[in-house]
């Protein structure tokens, strides 16, 4: 298992496409390959 948390700041359409993919329980039948990801620093207010 894993813990997933974070905030999507752009690309919500991609997230919705992933939500519609076929699954078995909580596992996708075809894995999604993440080619790029960035960690953004929190900006002080």
**pLDDT tens for each residue of the chain, 45 residues long:** 566 777 888 889 988 999 999 999 889 999 999 898 888 777 766
pLDDT (0 to 100) of residue 3: 62
Beta-bridge partner residues of 24: 27
Q: Which of 34, 35, 37 is nearest to 6 (CA)?
A: 37
pLDDT (0 to 100) of residue 13: 93
Euclidean distance between CA atoms 32 and 29, whole angstroms: 9
**The model's pTM:** 0.60
Beta-bridge partner residues of 6: none
30 CB-side CA count, 13 A: 6
Which token pair is 21?
Answer: 């993919």
């Amino acid at each position: 298992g894993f813990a997933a948390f974070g905030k999507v700041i752009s690309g919500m359409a991609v997230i919705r496409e992933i939500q519609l993919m076929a699954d078995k329980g909580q596992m996708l039948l075809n894995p999604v390959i993440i080619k790029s990801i960035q960690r953004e620093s929190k900006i002080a207010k």
